[in-house]
Every structure is written in structure tokens, then in C-alpha cells.
Amino acid sequence: MVKKVICALDTGELDEAIAITKRLGNVVGAFKIGHSLTLQHGLDVVSRLQDAGANRIFLDLKFHDIPNSVALAVREATRRGVWMMTVHISGGPAMMTAAVAEARDTDGIPPLLVGVSVLTSLDQHVLTDHLGVQRSIPEHMAYLSQLAIDCDLDGVVCSPQEVKEIRKQIGSQGVIVTPGIRVQNIAVDEDDQRRTGSPSEALSDGADYLVIGRALINSEHPEWTLEEFGLVGAPN
């Protein structure tokens, strides 16, 4: 098992998600679920996947609302025993602080809260010309990442291209979760991620977890795919 790898269950079909979980449960360290599964099946999908062998669930719903609403959402997710969940850093300090308070108000192990700053689908043109942010993407993400850590979030999400800058900014204070992982000789269907990179670069720059989806799900031999990614034998 490669614990650093989180498999993205990018499907709305519960039966398919369960089948993937059973097939990859001993291969990867966690499974990421998002709106496509939870909007159809509710948060009960968490327990269904846990029963299928998902020891750790990364609930990627990117909560972004007023502090009380986000706190209530985090409370419900925490009750389901998720391992990790996302909130938007741009929701502000009060929202993040409320989320942290709810996540840690549990008798069990509190989930990891990780902050999202600039989505991997955005590039500099969109950030500056459409959203009005004058910082470069790495500068903006480093600033927001430090804000997240200052508000006691457990870590942040970023593409491989920003890992080094963010790790330099936050030091060892938080985990870094990195989607957009690509390897040159492993093809994936066209997607909307603009900022991508290799697993070796992401890990050497300071990433803690790598999110990989279709390259694993579509592989007949996922263990071989992880070897091609250079992840078999990597420190867990």
C-alpha cells in the first residue's frame, strides 16, 4: 500500500465507487469523494465506502459559506468519521476558525482540515484579469496558505507547481495535498486541470499526499501504474 496516494473517485455511480474501493483498498492510502457522489447519495456514501474497505475518506466538498453554516457542515462530516475535508481559505479567518472548532469538538480522532486557495483549473490570466488578484499564483497561494495555518487548519491543497513555494512559506506546520499529478508516459483523458506536474517533483518539493484518479482507476494493473509513477518503495 502506498499511503501517500489518495485515489479520486470521480464518479457519481455508487456501485462503481464501491467496486473501485474494493479493488484498490489495499493499494492506496485513502479515497477522495466529492459532489458527484454526495449529492446523489448523501453522506451515507461515506459509511458505504468504509464498509467496502476505505479506511480513510477525503471529503472534498470545499466548504465556503458564512462561519455558522460551514461549522454545521463540518460537524456533520466529522460525525461520519471522514479522515480529511476541504474548506475554501477565501471564506476568511472567522469561517476557518469555526470549522476548526467543530472538527476538534469530537470524542474520536478529529479530521484533517485542509484549505483550498486557487483551483488547479485556474491560470494566471483568470486569476488576474477576471478575479482581480494582482499577485502571481505562487505568491497568492503562499499568502493564503500561511493564513490557513495561522487559523489552525491542518494543511492546504495545491498543484505540483506551487508545492515548493508553499512548503517554504509554511515550513513543517501543515500537510500539503497535491492533485494534478501527471506522468509523461501515462495518458489520461483530457481534463480541466491547468497546473500539473510529476509525482517525484511534488514529493521532493514537500508534498505529503498525491491525489491520483483516472490513471489508477483505468489501469488494469494499478500496482504497476504506481511503479511507473515512481511511488512503489517511496517513504510512507
pLDDT at 192: 60
- What is the average pLDDT across 80-87? 98
Q: pTM of the prediction? A: 0.94
- For residue 45, report the phi and psi dihedrals to the nearest 5 degrees: -60, -30
Give which of 19, 71, 15 is closest to 41, Cα–Cα. Answer: 15
- Gap between the Cα atoms of 163 and 138, Å rounded: 9
Total domains, the chain: 1
Question: Given pLDDT bands bounded at 50, 70 and 90, which one contains residue 65?
Answer: very high
In this structure, what CATH number is given to the domain that contains residue 73?
3.20.20.70
pLDDT at 230: 86
pLDDT at 194: 65
- What is the average pLDDT across 24-39? 97
Per-residue pLDDT of 111-146, as tens digits, reads 999 999 999 889 999 999 999 999 999 999 999 999
pLDDT at 184: 60
- What pairs with residue 2 in β-bridges? 28
Alpha helices in the chain (DSSP H): 14-24, 35-41, 44-51, 67-79, 93-104, 124-125, 137-150, 163-170, 199-205, 214-217, 222-228
- What pairs with residue 13 in β-bridges? none
DSSP secondary structure, 181-222, as one string: B-BTTB-----S--S-B-HHHHHHHT-SEEEE-HHHHT-S-H
111 near 77, Cβ under 8 Å? yes
Give which of 90, 24, 28, 29 is closest to 63, Cα–Cα. Answer: 90
Per-residue pLDDT of 151-194, as tens digits, reads 999 999 999 999 999 999 999 999 999 998 987 655 555 456 66
pLDDT at 195: 76
Kindly state whether residue 234 falls inside one of the protein's structural domains. no
- What is the average pLDDT across 52-74? 98
Parent domain of 17: 2-228
pLDDT at 191: 55
Q: Is the pLDDT of residue 44 over 60?
A: yes
Kindly state whether residue 235 falls inside one of the protein's structural domains. no
Kindly state whether residue 44 falls inside one of the protein's structural domains. yes
Whole-number percent of the chain with pLDDT over 90:
87
Kindly state whether residue 157 falls inside one of the protein's structural domains. yes
Kindly state whether residue 236 falls inside one of the protein's structural domains. no
Kindly state whether residue 16 falls inside one of the protein's structural domains. yes
Kindly state whether residue 233 falls inside one of the protein's structural domains. no
Give which of 193, 205, 87, 206 is closest to 147, Cα–Cα. Answer: 87
- What pairs with residue 212 in β-bridges? 7
The cell for 214 is 483516472
DSSP 63: E
Catalytic site includes residue 62 = yes
The single residue of 3, 62, 164, 168 carrying the catalytic annotation is 62
